[in-house]
Structure 1
Amino acid sequence: MAFSAVLRSEWTKIRTVASTSWTLALVFLVTVGFAALFGATFNTDNLDEVQRATFDPTALSFGSMQFGQLSMIVFGVLVVSTEYSTGMIRTSLAAVPHRTRFLTGKMTVAATLALVVGLLTSFVSFFLTQALLGDLGIGIGEENVLRAVVGAGLYMALIGLFAMGVATMLRSSVAAISILIPFFLIVSNVLMGFDATRTVGQYLPSNAGARMMQVVPGAFGNEETPYGPWGGLGILVLWVLASVLGGLLVLRKRDA
């Protein structure tokens, strides 16, 4: 099957499965909803001296990404695992015996959708939060702000790809979600909370991604990373490549 046909096939699968459509919608709704809440309730009186000195209105716009990314993770997992749970994977591989082409087509379509939703989410979250901050807000034309906004959208797409790779290796939505949600929601924060483990925690995907969304280094008094926004992107890309290549290796070696 030609690659263009694979892309059309994967697009049809994704848009006709209600669960994947709803999870993408939740990425937007959850992230923007919490961004609005954070912007509307933000008060500098709650900040200490260090946090005021490192106040980053752009990063504040993306504090809600920690919630929205959970829906993106579920989207990435479901794109892959749904075929295994329904047995559709056998039909798909019979139609596209070239497994690299099959997985590349699936990830290309899903990642494109994730990027579109991610960018829409990041831009809406930014403009809404800045409007709610009033005089504390910042314009998108300020130095490095547009880079951070685009970085937030790109982060979402890369997290979706990372989840797809893990789901391809595990071939189970329950197993993949059970590992990924605690990994992003708990493990990253715990490792950053202790001096002994902070060096490791800084290189986890969520913390590398957070650096991509900051304009002010060490925003809100958080520990500064030994790398900048572009370094954070590079680290995240390495995680994604490892996940995708691992998924491809498993797909090529195991029976459906």
Structure 2
Amino acid sequence: MAATQVLKSEWTKIKSVQSTVWTLSLSAIATIALGVLISILSRNEFKNMSAEDKLTFDPTFVSFAGTSLGQLAMIVFGVLVVSNEYSTGMIRTSLAAVPQRGTFLFSKITVAAALALAVGMATSFTAFFLGQAILGDLRAGIGDPGVLRAVIGGGLYMTLIALFSMGVAAMLRSPMLALGILMPVFFLLAPILGNVSATKKVGQYLPDQAGSKIMQVVPPLDDDTPYGPWGGLLIMALWAVAAVSCGYVLLKRRDA
């Protein structure tokens, strides 16, 4: 089967499964809604902040406060896109139709990543402009230094979250097992390792801890991170490439 036909087939599969469509929609809604809420709270509490907090106040990053919740749905999307066929048994039919396993996997990942990128970018720009409108006099402009980079980076961050999740799902094949590992890593392990002084040097190299740096415009006063915004996104991209590569190797070696 030609590569273009495989891409069309994967597009049809994704749009025909309601759970994947809903998770993408939920990712956007959660990110924007929580960002709006945090922007309202930040505007109301700004006058009560300490001088240090006012100095490091980052209106752009405030807009992206909902990303921590929205990425949960993006993780689910990435896992379901890859592992749904394993849980339903359709993987045998798919591999019979497309015996070139590399073509099969990378076509699926390409279509899903393009969708994640489109939704991620739309979500990032919407969250930013809504958040800044709410912040009023505290707002940042899209033309301010570092702001456009942060907004574009927000969309790229969500895309890499989906890519990493797809790679892990390709390795584990089971949606429950993949989610059972990814959720604790992103929502328990990474925050703990990234905020405890004894493990911070290790935690700052985890995918979300490194990748989220791209959305910061005003760094914390005590920031001693050894990489910048693009360096952090590169680290996250390397995690995603590693996960997808491992998933491909295992797909080639294992039976359906």
Give TM class, smaller chain: over 0.9
User: Could you tell me which residue of structure 1 aligns to residue 92 of structure 2?
Assistant: 90
Question: How far apart, in 1, do the equivalents of 2:148 and 2:224 lie?
Answer: 21
Q: Give 1:233's aligned residue.
A: 233
Asked whether 1:154 is paired with 2:156, we answer yes
User: Counterparts of 2:212 and 2:51 in 1: how far apart (Å)?
Assistant: 22
2-structure distance, mates of 1:83, 1:114: 19
Name which of 197, 215, 218 aligns with 1:216: 218
Residue 250 of structure 1: how far off its partner (Å)? 0.7
List 4+ stretches of structure 1 deviating above 4 A: none
Contact kept in structure 1, 2:98 and 2:104, CA below 8 Å = yes
Distance 1:226 1:235 in 2: 12
| In structure 1, C-alpha distance between the alignment counterparts of 2:224 and 2:80, rounded to whole Å | 35
1:173 and 2:175 equivalent?
yes
User: Which residue, 117, 120, 126 being the options, matches 2:119?
Assistant: 117
> Which residues of 2 match residues 72-91 of structure 1 at below 5 A?
72-91=74-93
Letter in 2 for 1:82: N
Aligned length: 254
Q: Which of 82-91 and 50-59 deviates more?
A: 50-59
Q: In structure 1, how many angstroms separate the alpha carbons of the residues matched to 2:246 and 2:103?
A: 15
Task: Provide the aligned C-alpha RMSD in A.
Answer: 1.0
Identity %: 57
Q: How many angstroms apart in 1 are the aligned matches of 2:94 and 2:194?
A: 42
1:19-42 CA distances to partner (integer Å, 9 max, x unpaired)? 000000001110101011111121
Whether 1:246 aligns to 2:246 is yes
| Post-superposition CA distance 1:80-125 (Å, at most 9, x none) | 1110011110010001000001001000000000000000000000
**Distance in 1 separating the partners of 2:223 and 2:199:** 13
User: Where in structure 2 are there 5+ consecutive unaligned residues?
Assistant: none
* The one of 123, 127, 130 aligned to 1:128: 130
Q: Which amino acid aligns with 1:121?
A: T
Cα distance change of structure 1 residues 135 and 81 upon mapping to structure 2, 3 Å threshold: same
Q: Which residue of 2 aligns with 1:17?
A: 17
TM-score (norm 1): 0.97
Q: Secondary structure at the match of 1:196?
A: coil
TM-score by length of 2: 0.97
Work out the CA distance in 1 between the residues paired with 2:48 and 2:16. Answer: 46
Q: Letter of the 1:179 partner, please give it.
A: I
Question: What secondary structure, in the 3-state scheme, does the structure 2 residue paired with 1:142 have?
Answer: coil
SS at match of 2:40: helix
